[in-house]
Structure 1
Amino acid sequence: MRFGRTSKAVGVAAVAALALSACAESGGGEDPGTGGGGEASGGTVTVAEVNPFSSFNSDTAVGNVDINNKVALLTTNDFNYINSDLEVVPREEFGTYEVVSEDPLTVTYTVNEGVTWSDGEPVDADDLLLSWASTSAYFDDESDPDPEVEGDETGTTYFSAASTAGLDLTEMPELGEDGRSITLVYSEPYADWEIAFGVTDTPAHVVATNAGLADGDALIEAIQNAPEGDPENPQERPEISAIADFWNTGFDSTSLPSDPALYLSNGPYVVSEMVPDQSMTLVRNEDYNWGPIPAIDEITIRYIGDANAQVQALQNGEVDIIQPQASADTLTSLEAIDGVEILQGPELSFDHLDLYQEGGVFADENVRKAFMKTVPLEQIVDATIRPLDPESGPRMSQIFDFGTEPYLAAVEENGSSEYAEVDIEGAKELLDGATPEVRIMYNAENPNRVDAYTLIAESAEQAGFRVVDVGLPGAEWGPALEEGGARWDATIFGWISPGVGVTGVPQLYGCGSASNYVQWCDEEAQEAMDELILTTDPAEQQELQTLVDTRLYETGFGLPLFQSVGINGVSDRIEGTEYMSNQDGIWWNYWEWTVAE
């Protein structure tokens, strides 16, 4: 849980910068991911994933989980992708993008002629305009004059997008006369412009008909004619509301929809079968020729949450590739299997404990900070990742990746040292005799999260907290993230990043962001985040991110726990795989996979 690619809930806010001047046009250079893979050689591959699939729309706050993004990688194409060196690589066989002006920043995107959805409908202007409308917050006019008064909100937030940062700086776009292009004009020189926009998973003509409109052209007309959102003068937009309602939930499904329009593809694979909570099968999209042509004919994804079960399935030949929760036991078990290649490396993912801020037990800052003082960070690291990486330690920054130079600099000033060691007496002093009840929600099928919960609960109870276990099965914890306050007071989960850009920071911590599940809002941090996404200088970006990091600690947002380590196990019958540290994981170069003869 694509910034244009957003951080995913599994579950890092990315810290690398893309300068505005880095790419004035998308041309130039060899693209190893376009037209690669050679002639199709056939064969099948079975891959084990931890989490079960839940939505064909990975751009919503609820659909923004890692497995949905990976399926989208196989079934949709876009203007660029991120390679294993964490570089943005254009896909010119799909389309092109070009900066046509730097003042104001103006970018034109054009889908190539002949790119279609798997029902034969072209990917064109209606898809581009829906992509922008659903992720720009252009129509939102919700306001909350007094946060202390329940029900004081007015207006509407229409699309439940995982992130709107960046595109919320754009005005109503202009569509090209070719019917396949869109031009975005930014009010400010947005730092992450190159990864801000892409075609969403959801075909516009399908959204249109399910929203009661005639077709994609009618959807374009509805979007172009609806007034811009204005919190000072909220008003109804019935057609936008109907479009958003279907976009928000209409593609959520754990089984194969009876209507094939709900799982169309514009990428190399199309879903052919789903067994709820067990597996998904994808087959080749025979019409696809506008990107890398994969060698594999059929891919089956099996949902296996338990790491030992994944290893056993690989050993038994039931799966060819596994991406289990990393642990020393998992690595030892993999090393004992003949005919298996182990891919291992750092991962752009971190586990964290977040405290719900808007009402409930943690509305009181003293209670939040008391609870944070009880978290046994060193014990959690000992139980989870230190056996894999003896040099690892507790992650002491919400923003920066463990061990990097920006991380080391931030730790010196962000206030994390106050929580480096357990302080039961300090927690008791802050509680002043109170014994608050705290409900902790986490994925009960994830061994690292179970270990973290157990250690946190045992320590917190020593200070007087009464901890309630509300751990949920793997298929349920993701949707439950939106139920903070009603269902949980604290939650343990992870974020994983694409590894480029700075937009992940306001996505996770911005006031009102759909991915900010604990409803944290800090004026000083928000001002820094607003400036951050307009800043291209790396030193200034680091300074602004450190300020946000500091405010997260000073206000008691919660605690990062540890940076993850990634482990993949690959059968020797599969060739062409390569380790990837970001949210795409092993899937990043699927078009290069082949079955060994």
Structure 2
Amino acid sequence: MRGRTVRGAAAAGAVLLALVACTSTEPEHDRADDVVVAVGSPFLSLNAGTAAGLAPGSTLVRGLVQSGFTSLEEDGSVVADPSFGTVEVVDDEPFTVRYTIAETARWSDGVPVTPADLLLEWAARSGQLDEVVPEIGADGLPVDPAALDDVVAFAATSPALVHATAVPRVDGATVTVVHDRRVADWQVALDVNLPAHVVGRLALDPAAQTTDDPAPTGAGTVPPTDGPTPGATATGAAPGGTATGAPATTEPAPGADPTAVAADAARWAGAVQTAVEEQDRDALVDVARVWRAAGTAGDVATDPVLTTTTGPYVLAQVDDDGVLAVPNDAYAGAAPAAYASVRVRTDLDPLAQVDAVSEGGVDVAAPLSTGDVLAAAAQVEGATVLTGGDAVLQLVLQEGGGGVFDAAASSAGQATAARAAFVATVPREEVVTRAAEPLWGDATVSDEVLAEVALGPLPSGEGTAATAAPTAAAPTGTATATQAPTAPGADGLVVRLLANTDDPVRAEALEVVTSAAADAGIEVVVAEVEDPAAALRTEPEAWDAALVPVAQEALGVSAAVARWRTDGATNVTGHADDALDEAVDALDRAVDADARADALGAVAEGLRASGAVLPLVRTPALTLVRDSPVAGLPTPAGVPLLPPARADLTSWWGWVRG
């Protein structure tokens, strides 16, 4: 491994220098096998089934410390990990998926991954055992979490598992899940998340409820995802310094009998499996309560047991400055750790991240990209600046809420004409030039309307171009500032545009859209709301159009269905289209690659033709890599751009694996 080679070389070099130059000074740095990464989003939770666990900072850390059957790439493709196990469709009617756990799949405490771990996740994500459906607030969290403590309520139903209504069948190391219908996201619908033996002990063992070994509290909160988040200064903690949180270890207590430890783990995992299979309500109430809360950053920092994961690294410390991960000695998979430690710092503001790279305290930084940050990064000697695309900035129109694009407030003809007139004024090339190119020289107009599936171009099926241009009859959004179109419905139109103007890219795009619309006789005003991110979901009457950065989702097809089907769970625009619904339903059941590609193309084409959404450009992302050799520091190689909008960052961490 890279880390061991560096340590050996450093030791040999130190002996040689001592022999020939006793008066030499000590190196300024001494962490050649310890890499430090700085980002702006905090780690909140290891639980991928919660809003906190899906936050960008949590996704980044989980990609480092968790392995599973599959991982998801930026283009929406699924990558299998045979060293963990296999996922395969074994029957089409009824649609049946079989999971086979490999012998090399182990938790970081040495306990084998078992079917109980998958049964726990099925119970949590299928919704079949939940006794109540909690009210969810604009922040994605239950409005009254305390009301869930006395009922079976995992409160994390996944659209990819909701049709798996029967308890999965267990046979040795295999788990068979039967769905009532085909599920497009079947490859990523179910995977290990929290360890059943840990959750089982915390939930069902009275001895676990002590002050020395507390039950999870679920104290993590999800910060707003729109706009930059203020960070600390470079003095918040010494770069690469020792964390102040409680040290975590997943090893058994000294002197513990390994056989007894294994038997105890099997006992509690078995208790969870029995509770799920027999639908033991009393046990499930406690299991659900612990599952909802387990894995939050605050609890992980105080209870080492809650750091138990399956990847090549395991969390050793969690504190206000970030996390520290070390090699997982129990890992037997295909991509072992290559460094002695990986520190992820979240305590530095964007400019402080750049300074830390320059001073040798940070090796890789992914700060929020702004003009001053990019300029500062370009001045760092011995470092490479990577720029590229992140979330897709889209313009969406509100077709409900009684606004100017709502047919119920005027007529279908008037609303359609107004939508077409407004969208046709949008100069996408100018948005790219003014909002994105200053931060990303290679920025181009984006055609990705299904960014929740893939941030880049979608794969094309035979006979269907997924990135085809809009039809001639549809608004194209290609106007220029010097030649604005004149279209019926434009004169006197006032459009309330929802945008987070704290984001410089959206602020500049807003100015471009406003100016171009004015040339066509349309007045664009900023929607007056207290919180743009919340208003997008909860105040349809307050806006007519919105500039929305769309991130990739872990269940891409399910997310697209929820967003664009009539009355879909996340359909914030009120768009309704019978023909599109048919295409969306076909996509939701497309399980092989060719059918999926064709269905994605059909949905994308339908959305463009309807004028429901206009993609503009991918928002710029920035990564700074210190890649020139410096004595006493690691020299990271092969570090790619870090796009925070990715749903899964497992492959981004390839450079810290052997």
Name which structure has the greater RCO, CA cutoff 8 Å, separation 6+. Answer: 1
DSSP 3-state at the match of 2:590: coil
In structure 2, how many angstroms separate the alpha carbons of the residues matched to 1:558 and 1:86? 20
**Match 1:563 to one of 588, 601, 618:** 618
Report 1:414-563 matches (<5 A).
415-417=474-476, 429=489, 440-441=499-500, 444=502, 446-452=503-509, 463=523, 465-468=525-528, 470=530, 484-485=538-539, 492-497=547-552, 502=557, 505-506=560-561, 508-510=563-565, 523-535=578-590, 541-549=596-604, 552=607, 557-563=612-618
**Match 2:37 to one of 32, 47, 56:** 47
Q: Does 1:411 align with 2:467?
A: no
Partner in structure 1 of residue 166 of structure 2: 172
Gaps of 5+ in 2: 8-32, 134-150, 207-267, 408-414, 628-633
Partner in structure 2 of residue 197 of structure 1: 190
Report 1:47-446 matches (<5 A).
47-61=37-51, 63-81=53-71, 88-101=78-91, 104-113=94-103, 115-119=105-109, 121-138=111-128, 161=156, 163-165=158-160, 167-178=161-172, 180-188=173-181, 190-200=183-193, 202-208=194-200, 215-226=268-279, 243-244=287-288, 246-248=290-292, 250-253=294-297, 256-276=300-320, 278-303=321-346, 307-326=350-369, 333-344=376-387, 347=389, 349-354=391-396, 359=401, 364=406, 366=415, 377-387=428-438, 392-399=443-450, 401=456, 406-412=465-471, 415-417=474-476, 429=489, 440-441=499-500, 444=502, 446=503
- 1:30-52 alpha-carbon deviations (Å, 9 max, x no partner): xxxxxx87968662111122322
Do 2:34 and 2:341's aligned partners in 1 also have CA atoms closer than 8 Å? yes
Shift of 1:198: 1.7
In structure 2, how many angstroms separate the alpha carbons of the residues matched to 1:559 and 1:62? 29
Partner in structure 2 of residue 4 of structure 1: none
In structure 1, how many angstroms separate the alpha carbons of the residues matched to 2:201 and 2:439? 51
DSSP 3-state at the match of 2:625: strand
Partner in structure 1 of residue 637 of structure 2: 576
- 1:403-439 alpha-carbon deviations (Å, 9 max, x no partner): 9873541433693515756899989957967x67665
**CA RMSD for the aligned pairs?**
4.9
- 1:44-71 alpha-carbon deviations (Å, 9 max, x no partner): 1111223222222233355323321121
Shift of 1:220: 2.9
In structure 2, how many angstroms separate the alpha carbons of the residues matched to 1:93 and 1:193? 19
In structure 1, how many angstroms separate the alpha carbons of the residues matched to 2:152 and 2:485? 44
After TM superposition, the score normalised by the length of structure 1 is 0.69
DSSP 3-state at the match of 1:494: strand
Do 2:396 and 2:573's aligned partners in 1 also have CA atoms closer than 8 Å? yes
The alpha-carbon distance between structure 1 residues 61 and 431, as it changes in their structure 2 partners (threshold 3 A), is farther
Paired AA for residue 381 in structure 2: D
- 1:317-340 alpha-carbon deviations (Å, 9 max, x no partner): 221012244567655544443211
Q: Comparing 279-288 with 291-300, which one deviates more in the overlay?
A: 279-288
Shift of 1:301: 1.4
In structure 2, how many angstroms separate the alpha carbons of the residues matched to 1:160 and 1:325? 33
Shift of 1:302: 2.0
Partner in structure 2 of residue 590 of structure 1: 653
Shift of 1:194: 3.3
Q: Comparing 279-288 with 424-433, which one deviates more in the overlay?
A: 424-433
The alpha-carbon distance between structure 1 residues 540 and 293, as it changes in their structure 2 partners (threshold 3 A), is closer
- 1:105-125 alpha-carbon deviations (Å, 9 max, x no partner): 533223234644345554222
In structure 1, how many angstroms separate the alpha carbons of the residues matched to 2:55 and 2:394? 16
In structure 2, how many angstroms separate the alpha carbons of the residues matched to 1:259 and 1:301? 19
In structure 1, how many angstroms separate the alpha carbons of the residues matched to 2:648 and 2:564? 24
The alpha-carbon distance between structure 1 residues 550 and 262, as it changes in their structure 2 partners (threshold 3 A), is same
Q: How many residues align?
A: 525
Gaps of 5+ in 1: 1-35, 144-155, 228-236
DSSP 3-state at the match of 1:129: helix
Paired AA for residue 284 in structure 1: P
In structure 2, how many angstroms separate the alpha carbons of the residues matched to 1:209 and 1:522? 49
The alpha-carbon distance between structure 1 residues 338 and 361, as it changes in their structure 2 partners (threshold 3 A), is same
After TM superposition, the score normalised by the length of structure 2 is 0.64
The alpha-carbon distance between structure 1 residues 168 and 522, as it changes in their structure 2 partners (threshold 3 A), is farther
In structure 2, how many angstroms separate the alpha carbons of the residues matched to 1:239 and 1:353? 47
DSSP 3-state at the match of 2:580: helix
- 1:267-310 alpha-carbon deviations (Å, 9 max, x no partner): 2223233343x422223333333342212122221226865443
The alpha-carbon distance between structure 1 residues 84 and 61, as it changes in their structure 2 partners (threshold 3 A), is closer
